[in-house]
Chains A and B, each alone.
Chain A
């Protein structure tokens, strides 16, 4: 039956090309949408995930990273004096205005941290050194936003919130979900850039590193019991809250997932139509098989094998196309992620999609009247 399945599938090359096109189209659409979802999700929490902190202390009620609210730095000292804390650093996130050398203004998200602390620092540094940020009015930006921010190289000068700033380094691939590029500066400079009137005695976040042997969960409870008016999250918790906010509370993720679902539906419809049409082309052969004594189960297996062949070949082509799209996205503002688990999942999805599509044909074949073979 395998031979018949393959021969019938590959015999009509045009039809098979249409089938494969449908599968590839559907899979690439799904990969892009899921990849965007993963990319967006990762982007929303990238500063948290790369913070190297065990715990985040945030103003009570702050639900996600991009709305940090300042609180007194007395909390910072309370944290520092808590047993089990190895290190703690103040950390700032606030929106600011970036004036390009040509005078145009762009919104940015300023990240303030303590260079050399090892907590909350930018990563994937491709030009300059984080230590260079210790120089007054110096900033790091991501090379993805060179054009948007109007800077080309180290040493370019701009204004942030009426303060001078000089680019001393570039990172690679640190995207901002809000479309306002991240600009890294010292904690002190970040206050000047975003709200000159604010006190240096306040902070939006406190990043905490637990002492060796102290579990973050235990330290979290200790800090929670000790501090008032703030919330204490593990890095994973705060990351999850931030991702959930952007992906589901705002509807951004639902929109992407809906598009992925639409891709799946379109894919099943296209593949079902082509497999059904191919089955109808060979309907007399299936009738002959039934007359010869083939069971419905035998016919299912022929159709299933065709579905699996279609799925595997369509998947292979889709992965090649997706690979190029994913590569191209690395240079854009919205990255499409395709981890190996997703690649594997797509194979399973392709097979399930094609088998689901084949069910329509199976239903038709099951109902074939074998007496049709005697009709002219």
Chain B
């Protein structure tokens, strides 16, 4: 497991992303500077179209920035050839998606084992490791269940177990609680927080969900492709968990200075 030092594992400088279609040009991201440290849960927030998912995709090396540089674990990746990016994703990054993106024809164990298979780990050892990961997310008893037989929260926990398959220092989550009820959402966010604080991973999470605010160590606010408010901590600000008592819009606005 990675050390608990608050070292920077993601360093982005001047990241821009421009989508072009004919003469039309859309600036999805503009001159974004960002440092993400291990052991922290970083929340990326902002209205729809603000560039959150674009930024997450670039940080996850599945989208190329139009300009700027990106360092992951000290390696400059923005200049790497396309063929090198799958290696970076396998070795450094775990993804958690809003829609879970589990493989419906595979059991929970097989879904996790598939992520190990992609990394070249197969056979009984891979199966055992997949079962261990499911146990870590509290789903040992659902190891043989297919996604269709799991609740939303359970599916997301399987997805998190799958994201952990490569033991990545970076976890990128795209609205992981959006499709979940409050109880399941709380379980998932607590798990992600634990993965950051206890296991020392850098967790970056795109969210619209105000209930997760108290769990974030840092909040990055995006608007029109720019960071308009960075380095805000809500966890210390709100004393009560929003899952027990959701924050009011006024509270959030105050904190984010919107």
Q: Is the CB of A292 within 8 A of B97?
A: no
Q: Mark B232-254, 1 if CB is under 8 A from A, else 0.
A: 00000000000000000000000
A197 at the interface (CB under 8 A from B): no
A370 at the interface (CB under 8 A from B): yes
- List the A side residues contacting B110 at CB < 8 Å: 3
A294 at the interface (CB under 8 A from B): yes
A298 to B119: give the CA distance in the assembly, Å.
Answer: 10
A142 to B86: give the CA distance in the assembly, Å.
Answer: 70
- List the B side residues contacting A371 at CB < 8 Å: 57, 62-63
A126 to B53: give the CA distance in the assembly, Å.
Answer: 82
B199 at the interface (CB under 8 A from A): no
**Which of the 9-residue segments B2-10, B67-75, B87-95 touches chain A?**
B87-95
- List the B side residues contacting A1 at CB < 8 Å: 114, 117
A290 to B97: give the CA distance in the assembly, Å.
Answer: 14
For residues 103 through 155 of chain B, which have their beta carbon under 8 Å from a beta carbon of chain A? Answer: 103-106, 110, 114-115, 117-119
B40 at the interface (CB under 8 A from A): no
- List the A side residues contacting B166 at CB < 8 Å: 293
- List the A side residues contacting B217 at CB < 8 Å: none
Q: Is the CB of A3 within 8 A of B106?
A: yes
Partner of B97, one of A3, A11, A289, A374: A374
Q: Is the CB of B118 within 8 A of A289?
A: yes
Q: Is the CB of B101 within 8 A of A288?
A: yes
For residues 321 through 376 of chain A, which have their beta carbon under 8 Å from a beta carbon of chain B? Answer: 370-371, 373-374, 376
> B205 to nearest A CB, angstroms?
13
For residues 156 through 200 of chain B, which have their beta carbon under 8 Å from a beta carbon of chain A? Answer: 162, 166, 174
> A281 to nearest B CB, angstroms?
11
Q: In the complex, which of the residues A285, A298, A370, A374 has the most CB atoms of chain B within 10 Å of its own CB atom?
A: A374
A8 at the interface (CB under 8 A from B): yes
- List the A side residues contacting B103 at CB < 8 Å: 4, 7-8, 285, 288
A291 at the interface (CB under 8 A from B): yes
Q: Is the CB of A374 within 8 A of B117?
A: no
Q: Is the CB of B97 within 8 A of A293?
A: no
Partner of A7, one of B86, B98, B106, B117: B106
A376 to B48: give the CA distance in the assembly, Å.
Answer: 12
Q: Is the CB of A373 within 8 A of B118?
A: no
Closest residue of chain B to A284, judged by CB? B101
Q: Is the CB of B105 within 8 A of A8?
A: yes
> B149 to nearest A CB, angstroms?
15
A7 to B99: give the CA distance in the assembly, Å.
Answer: 21
A1 to B93: give the CA distance in the assembly, Å.
Answer: 20
| Secondary structure class of chain A's binding surface, majority of residues | helix
Partner of B62, one of A3, A285, A370: A370
Q: Mark A131-174, 1 if CB is under 8 A from B, else 0.
A: 00000000000000000000000000000000000000000000
Q: Is the CB of A293 within 8 A of B105?
A: no
Q: Is the CB of A293 within 8 A of B101?
A: no
A295 at the interface (CB under 8 A from B): yes
Partner of A292, one of B53, B63, B118: B118
B56 at the interface (CB under 8 A from A): yes
B60 at the interface (CB under 8 A from A): yes
- List the A side residues contacting B114 at CB < 8 Å: 1, 3-4, 289
A291 to B57: give the CA distance in the assembly, Å.
Answer: 9
- List the B side residues contacting A374 at CB < 8 Å: 53, 56-57, 97-98, 174
Q: Is the CB of B97 within 8 A of A373?
A: yes
A284 to B99: give the CA distance in the assembly, Å.
Answer: 11
Q: Is the CB of A295 within 8 A of B105?
A: no
Closest residue of chain B to A298, judged by CB? B118
Partner of A293, one of B53, B63, B89, B99: B89
Q: Is the CB of B56 within 8 A of A292?
A: no
A298 to B97: give the CA distance in the assembly, Å.
Answer: 21
Closest residue of chain A to B103, judged by CB? A285
- List the B side residues contacting A285 at CB < 8 Å: 101, 103
Closest residue of chain A to B94, judged by CB? A292
Q: Is the CB of B86 within 8 A of A293?
A: yes
Closest residue of chain B to A285, judged by CB? B103
> A293 to nearest B CB, angstroms?
3
Q: Is the CB of A290 within 8 A of B62?
A: yes
A293 to B163: give the CA distance in the assembly, Å.
Answer: 11
A284 to B103: give the CA distance in the assembly, Å.
Answer: 9
Q: Is the CB of A373 within 8 A of B95?
A: yes
A293 to B97: give the CA distance in the assembly, Å.
Answer: 15
Q: In the complex, which of the residues A284, A288, A289, A295 has the most CB atoms of chain B within 10 Å of its own CB atom?
A: A288
Closest residue of chain A to B100, judged by CB? A288
Q: Is the CB of A295 within 8 A of B86?
A: yes
> B128 to nearest A CB, angstroms?
16
Q: Mark A296-312, 1 if CB is under 8 A from B, else 0.
A: 00100000000000000
Q: Is the CB of A293 within 8 A of B87?
A: yes
A335 to B18: give the CA distance in the assembly, Å.
Answer: 67
> B19 to nearest A CB, angstroms?
11
- List the B side residues contacting A291 at CB < 8 Å: 60, 62, 89, 95
Q: Is the CB of A7 within 8 A of B95?
A: no
Q: Is the CB of A293 within 8 A of B119?
A: yes
> A208 to nearest B CB, angstroms?
67
17 inter-chain pairs at a CB distance below 8 angstroms, sorted by A residue, are A3-B110, A7-B103, A7-B106, A11-B104, A284-B101, A291-B89, A292-B89, A292-B118, A293-B88, A294-B86, A294-B118, A295-B86, A298-B118, A373-B62, A374-B57, A374-B97, A376-B98
Apart from A293-B119, A373-B101, 13 more pairs, CB < 8 Å: A1-B114, A1-B117, A3-B114, A4-B114, A7-B106, A8-B103, A288-B103, A293-B89, A293-B90, A293-B91, A293-B118, A295-B86, A374-B53
Q: Which residues of A contact B (CB under 8 A)?
A: 1, 3-4, 7-8, 11, 284-285, 288-295, 298, 370-371, 373-374, 376
Closest 6 CB pairs of A and B: A293-B90, A7-B105, A293-B89, A370-B62, A288-B101, A11-B105
